[in-house]
Amino acid sequence: MKLSIIIPCFNYGHLVEKAIASAATNHPEVEVIALNDGSTDNSLEVLKGLAEKYNFNLIDKKNSGVSSTRNMGIDIASGEYLMFLDADDYLTDDAIALCLNSIVDTQAKFIIAEHINISDNKRSLSKKISIQESHYDNVRRYITKELSIVNGGCLMHKDIFASRRYNPSLRNSEDIPMFIHALANFKTSSINFPIVNIIKHNDSRRHDISAILETGTTIVDDSFDEQYITGKVATLKCTALAYRHHSIAKACFKANKYQLAKQHYSKAFRLHPRFILNISFLKRMIGASLKKNH
């Protein structure tokens, strides 16, 4: 088995069919594992119905969060490489062939592909993937958002998970520590074609402001745990902290939490003055804050 596609599903019964249909292609070197994470909607019934149409392994489990669900998928998977496809996203038509060809052609353990963002029926292609020889450069470019990585848009060799797994205590951005771990410690290559469609919608957990605030900057400590990140790469922790504060500031601004947005933006600026260059965001944030105060 070359590739295991792991699809955690929590309350996405209305969306999961596209994910299953795009992944379950009956290729002999590909397995699909869908894990219902204790959904409270009709996800389990939908998945049982889909199991009659498509070839995939269905696991029903008590709710424990996406990290624990992915970790269970890792234990079950028999593939050499793993892909984690979110239940609200779906693969492109050529994804399976592109992934299998890349596995054959590369010695890399982490393979990153382009992706397509879909929002309000508008489609946009992600940035071109440019992989550097240096682990430090790849981690730096990921932190500064020059290198875009998404679940469903990358393949991770099982060796990546030999020493660490997804942290179940993280409710948001739980993939960031694993991506940094892979970039910092394993050879990386790219697929310069899109393999997944990423659906942007308001109820996505990606935009859950309560989860973002609960996770806060602990994600940075987890990403740069000394057990996994050493040497020159470890010096990027301060940069990562600045970008995390900036990301939280933007999320707070969208959620109309202007005071919190200002606090996190100030912390980002103190750590990394480059953020003062984002004049348009700064003006909008100050304007909204002044309007609220009056």
Mean pLDDT of the chain: 92
Domain-ending residue, one of 202, 224, 257: 202
Q: Dig out the tokens for 47 from the structure.
A: 């998945």
The strand pairing partners of 81, in sequence order, are: 3, 157
In a domain, 128, yes or no: yes
Report yes or no on 51 lying in a domain. yes
pLDDT value at residue 277: 61
User: In terms of domains, do 161 and 226 share one?
Assistant: no
155 and 44, same structural domain?
yes
134 and 256 share one domain: no
pLDDT of residue 22: 98
User: How would residue 287 be classed by pLDDT, with cut points 50, 70 and 90?
Assistant: low
Is 27 within a domain?
yes
Distance in angstroms (rounded) separating the CA atoms of residues 122 and 294: 36
Q: How many domains does the chain have?
A: 2
> Do 190 and 217 fall into the same domain?
no
Q: Does pLDDT of 141 surpass 80?
A: yes
Q: Do 42 and 12 share a domain, yes or no?
A: yes
| Better-predicted residue by pLDDT, 142 or 258 | 142
Q: Is the pTM of this model over 0.75?
A: yes
Domain that includes residue 221, residue range: 212-293
Looking at the domain assignment, is residue 23 inside a domain? Answer: yes
Backbone angles phi, psi at 184, to 5 degrees: -80, -25
pLDDT band at 291 (very low <50, low <70, confident <90, very high): low
Indicate if 164 and 249 belong to the same structural domain: no
pLDDT band (50, 70, 90) for residue 272: confident
- For residues 192 and 236, membership in a common domain is answered with no
Provide the pLDDT confidence category of residue 284 given band limits of 50, 70 and 90.
low
Task: Tell me how far apart the alpha carbons of residues 152 and 3 are, in angstroms, rounded to a whole number.
Answer: 12
**Token representation of residue 114:** 């382009």
32 found inside a domain: yes
Lowest mean pLDDT among 130-134, 232-236, 281-285: 281-285
Q: What is the CATH number of the domain that holds 188?
A: 3.90.550.10
Q: Over the stretch 51-64, which tens digit does the pLDDT of each residue have? A: 999 999 999 999 99
Give 197-246 as a 3 state SS string: EEECCCCCHHHCHHHHHHHCCHHHHHHCCCCCCCHHHHHHHHHHHHHHHH
Please tell me whether residues 25 and 134 are part of one structural domain: yes
Give CA angle at 80 (78, 82), nearest 5°.
85
Quick one: 228 and 195 in the same domain? no
Of 8-17, 63-72, 268-277, the range with the lowest mean pLDDT is 268-277
Could you say which DSSP state residue 158 is in? G
Strands 81-84 and 30-37, sheet pairing: unpaired
190 domain-assigned? yes
- Which of 55-64, 153-162, 209-218, 283-292 bottoms out in mean pLDDT, i.e. has the lowest? 283-292
Residues 224 and 264 in one domain: yes
Residues 164 and 225 in one domain: no
With 50 as the cut, is the pLDDT of residue 294 above it? no
Which range (11-25, 113-127, 190-204, 273-287) has the least confidence?
273-287
Above pLDDT 70, what percent of the chain?
Answer: 91
Q: Tell whether 207 is covered by a domain.
A: no
* Residues 148-201 pLDDT 10s: 999 999 999 999 999 999 999 998 899 999 999 999 999 999 999 999 999 987
Element (H, E) at 114: strand 110-119
Which pairs from 250-254 meet CB under 8 Å and 24+ separation? 250/281, 251/207, 251/209, 251/212, 252/209, 252/213, 253/281, 253/284, 253/285, 253/288, 254/207, 254/209
Q: Judge whether residue 218 has pLDDT over 90.
A: yes
Strand partners, 61: 37
pLDDT band with cut points at 50, 70 and 90 for residue 202: low
Confidence of residue 111 (pLDDT cuts 50, 70, 90): very high
DSSP state of 129: P
Does residue 234 fall inside a structural domain? yes
* Per-residue pLDDT at 184: 98
Domain boundary among 183, 202, 221: 202
pLDDT at 4 over 70: yes
Same domain, 168 and 242: no
pLDDT tier at 278, thresholds 50, 70, 90:
low
Q: How far is Cα 171 from Cα 4, in angstroms, rounded to an integer? A: 24
Domain boundary among 141, 172, 202: 202
Query: What average pLDDT score do residues 77-95 get?
Result: 97
